[in-house]
Chains A and B, each alone.
Chain A
Amino acid sequence: MALAPDELLRSLAVALRQRIGPEVQEPFARTQAFMAAVILEKLAGQVANAAADDVAATAERAALVAELRAGAAGHATVLAAVDAVAADGGDAAWNGLVSALYAERDALGAPTFDRLLGRVRTALRARLDRALAYAS
């Protein structure tokens, strides 16, 4: 039976850490072998949780978009940025939304700006927490 991708990555990491790395005499190459093991372990965790992370991210994004469309009504620049996030959950769309909020700060007024940015930050916190699960 074939190993799942994350299991294969972990087994490669173990091989580098326990069997290959210790046999490497040259210090820089040895460090590189151990560093490769560290990276493979992180990738293994990300691969194992990719589907669940994606489901969570999609649900959070949908909830955010619904709230922001209501909260930013009448502010075309912000709404366009919200639409971009609705269409694409990539960093560029999120950055467009954050930048649009700051650019429209005066037009939104302080209470609305704070409320909308706070809602975006709640979503960014969830994204960051998922990334922190593999970070160090």
Chain B
Amino acid sequence: MSAPPVSEDQIRACLAERFDAPGLRLRGVERIAVGWSHETWLFDAVWADAGGEQVRPLCLRRDPGNALLRELSDLATQFRVLQCLDATAVPSPHPYFFEDDPTVLGAPFLVMEKVPGACPSPWGRDGRRFYEDAAARGVLPESFTDALIAIHTLDWRAAGLDFLGVPGGGNDFARREIAKWRRLMEATGAEPDPVLVDTLCWLDANAPSTPRLSLVHGAYRTGNFLVHDDRVSAVLDWETQVIGDPLYDVAYVLSELNREGTDLLSNLVERDAFFARYEAGTGLTIDEGVCRYYQVLYAARSAVFWMSASQLYASGENTDLRLARTAWSIPVVLDQAAKALGY
């Protein structure tokens, strides 16, 4: 069920109370229409106190009630992850507060820092040009790799991230991840394509062991972080993070899924340079065989993701026709999985 609309004045009144600033006003309000996840509002909260004018750049994310991946990650989890990352080397927005009470703004929401930077979509012409130019300058590719190194070398237990769930030994991580996406597939209520079922069975039967656990972002690519002064200013989209095999993220970086037809990883990083910098920064050796396994898992994930999206439309929960159109994306990702399995 979708949440009722929220007005700027409701947001303003809420923040005035939270920041104890009766004269608080919103400046430069933007509602970002990217993605099918949570509603995102960007603005500056401005007020005056004894110290003069106060300006706080903020980002508000609200649960629209009919977003994708709600079964996997809610705003409470996202907020807690941001709290855990706040004093670490992982570039991330400072979280201010989370409100679970839907009577305040019609639905749960969180407020975090609006980090300076742009987030060009890697799928559009302008975004592709942006990343191509940044790749040529060479600073952002290194920053991209360094931010991933920061995620994978984080002491996640000390940061309190074990609340995400800690896999057992052996192949428990991969099996848990498969089970998670299988549950999401089943939650759609739709019959999956048999290629997807074959892929999930194959993944289960061939799950690799995980020798080292780290924080895993789960969707680390261009478009999921902010860029400021040619550097990653904040890693965003903390919706699929998990404690698991760092090669799960590396596999996504190496994937053909995100190259937009270029030879550059994630349309940004030269492959050899990424390998050298990442392995030096983490002390890990990239096992390309394991990465190929995780790429099959990403293909299955993508299929489930598109199933979830198209079912959101089919069920009437969300009337955005872009969701209906995703049904025709499922065969494309299943084709990648089938080829990886040899057919």
Contact = CB atoms under 8 A, between A and B. Distances in A.
Interface stretch (A2-10, A48-56, A64-72, A88-96): A88-96
Contact of B325 (A38, A95, A99): A38
A35 interface: yes
Given A38-B325, A39-B325, A135 B332 contact: yes
A117 to B, nearest CB: 8
A54 to B, nearest CB: 17
A71 B252 CA distance: 39
B195 A35 contact: no
Interface string A101-127: 010010000000000011011101101
Interface string B5-19: 000000000000000
Given A125-B343, A135-B330, A98 B194 contact: yes
Contact of B197 (A36, A39, A99, A135): A99
B50 interface: no
B297 interface: no
A97 B321 CA distance: 33
Interface SS majority for chain A: helix
Contact of B198 (A39, A92, A124, A132): A124
A32 interface: yes
B194 A124 contact: yes
B1 interface: no
Contacts of B329: 135-136
Contacts of B192: 91, 95
A99 B201 contact: yes
Nearest to B332: A135
Contact of B331 (A91, A118, A121, A128): A128
Contacts of B334: 128
A135 B191 contact: no
B199 to A, nearest CB: 10
Contacts of A99: 197, 201
Contact of B338 (A35, A118, A124): A124
13 contacts: A39-B321, A42-B325, A42-B328, A94-B197, A99-B201, A117-B198, A121-B341, A124-B343, A131-B193, A131-B331, A134-B328, A135-B332, A136-B329
Task: Please give me the 6 A-B residue pairs with the lowest Cβ-Cβ distance, nearest first.
Answer: A94-B194, A131-B331, A135-B331, A121-B343, A35-B321, A102-B201
Interface of B: 33, 191-195, 197-198, 201, 204-205, 320-322, 324-325, 328-332, 334-335, 338, 341-343
